[in-house]
Amino acid sequence: MAINAKMIAEFTLKMRTPTSRLGHAQLASRVQLASRMATRCPARAGRVGRRTLSVKAAVALETADSDASDSGFIFSGLKGQAIESALLPSWPEKREILGVIPEHCFKKDTVKSMMYAAVSLALTVVPGVLAHLYLPYQASYLAAWAAYALWTGTAATGCWVVAHECGHGAFSDNKTLQDTVGYVLHTLLLVPYFSWQRSHAVHHSRTNHVTEGETHVPAMSDEPESKFTFKVREAIGGGPFAVIHTLAVLAFGWPVYLLTGASGGPVRGNTNHFLPNAGAKGKYALFPGGWKNKVYLSDIGIAGALGGIGYLAYTFGVLPVLALYGAPLMVTNAWLVLYTWLQHTGEDVPHLGEETWTWEKGAFMTIDRPYGALADFLHHRIGSTHVAHHLNHQIPHYHAKEATEAIKAAFPQHYLYDPTPIWKATWNVAKNCIAVEKNKDNLWVFKTSVA
């Protein structure tokens, strides 16, 4: 049967009726009609609206009484948009995407970048000086020291983001200045600057690739470790599992990644950001060729920083160093992992294999989230404009909001923004996002249970 204008009009009118008001027969009719349209006339069906292209997902979402559909699939605040987007029959090319971003958004202002770096550094260092001068190192002041660690670690995350921008080449056209600022700031936070610069570039080049991605690549559900994790969650309950999972990821995720490559792409094996020969060799080596020497240069910086910390501990005592530096650093590391975890993980955000992955799809599977005005100021909008960052990592953060608005307006079907509050999104991801399995559309989606 050919699809005609009458049928399109009929479908459009039907889709305006909320599915919660429909009976089972009407729902079945809607799905049948949408399926016929999508298969017989994909071009026209695509113009009816985004929900047409994956109407079964939309119906499952809207008819569910909870976050899960009848098939057991769990939806995030994206309401299935990422999966619908991944199944679109055509995608814009990179040059088309970048073409909608105003040209001045790509321009770097060294003075402005240095100003932001200075503000983040001041907000980090000044509280440390004040705490050392006025806060006694006594157990009775533990609450005050906890507040200090929370603030200083949060502010220091801004320094982390500035160094991250240096690593991407978005800080200044002066490459020597850029690498100097990035190297110093990251080294002070015990981050191997050049090693991370390389691994992070790989992350950007293969975002959301289920085997070749780098960082927060989910495990596959048929692996023994995944099956064991599902059984643990089933045994202790979703709530306790989410608490343990969150604490483990935020407290240990960053150092474990640096030392072992945990959550990196399985094709690279057990990598190490301080030992460039660890992990896979050849095509999938994380640090090929000249990058090995840059890793060693990063190691020199880290060794120097650790030596300085050791000297301070010897001179002033271990407790002051832990209070002034160690505790805030743990907060900074937690922020880093939280951002990257939520930027690239969602219950209904698919990962892609070689048969479906493209650079454009991978980049658009990044998720923007609402972190609030204070975090956006302190962290240079790293969490609320991350989609734009993945589409072009050389856009300075002070242009990222404008770039985001342009991308959102031009590609509303592709741009992902999850309005779920951060605390709730973290809970949901920790509870539900364990391992992925391939569905009938060749998308790798998070499995919801051990069965």
pLDDT in tens, 131-168: 999 999 999 999 999 999 999 999 999 999 999 999 99
* Residue 323 neighbours by CB under 8 Å, 6+ apart: 131, 137, 145, 148, 149
Distance of CA 79 to the CA centre of its chain: 18
400: three-class secondary structure by DSSP: helix
Spatial separation of the C-alpha atoms in residues 164 and 200, rounded to whole Å: 9
Q: Which residue has the tokens 């404008």?
A: 402
Reported pTM: 0.85
Question: Please, what is the Cα angle at 335 between 269 and 298, to 5 degrees?
Answer: 50
Higher per-residue confidence, 54 vs 294: 294
- Of the pLDDT bands very low, low, confident and very high (cuts 50, 70, 90), residue 313 is very high
Give me the phi and psi of 445, to 5 degrees please.
-115, 155
User: Using DSSP, how many helices (H) and how many strands (E) does the chain show?
Assistant: 20, 4
Portion of the chain with pLDDT greater than 90, in percent: 82
pLDDT tens sequence across 74-131: 899 999 999 999 999 999 999 999 999 999 999 999 999 999 999 999 999 999 999 9
pLDDT at site 448: 79
pLDDT at site 74: 85
414 DSSP 8-state letter: T
Residue 284 to residues 109, 193, 213, 214, 304, Cα–Cα distance (Å):
35, 21, 11, 11, 30
* Residue 149 neighbours by CB under 8 Å, 6+ apart: 323, 327, 328, 330, 331
* pLDDT of 21 over the 60 cut: no
* Residue 94 neighbours by CB under 8 Å, 6+ apart: 359, 360, 391
Q: Which residue has the tokens 């200083």?
A: 152
Spatial separation of the C-alpha atoms in residues 275 and 376, rounded to whole Å: 34
pLDDT at site 73: 65
Give me the phi and psi of 74, to 5 degrees please.
-105, 130
Asked if 389 and 47 touch (Cβ cutoff 8 Å), the reply is no
* pLDDT of 70 over the 80 cut: no
Spatial separation of the C-alpha atoms in residues 352 and 442, rounded to whole Å: 8
Spatial separation of the C-alpha atoms in residues 277 and 215, rounded to whole Å: 19
Spatial separation of the C-alpha atoms in residues 444 and 451, rounded to whole Å: 17
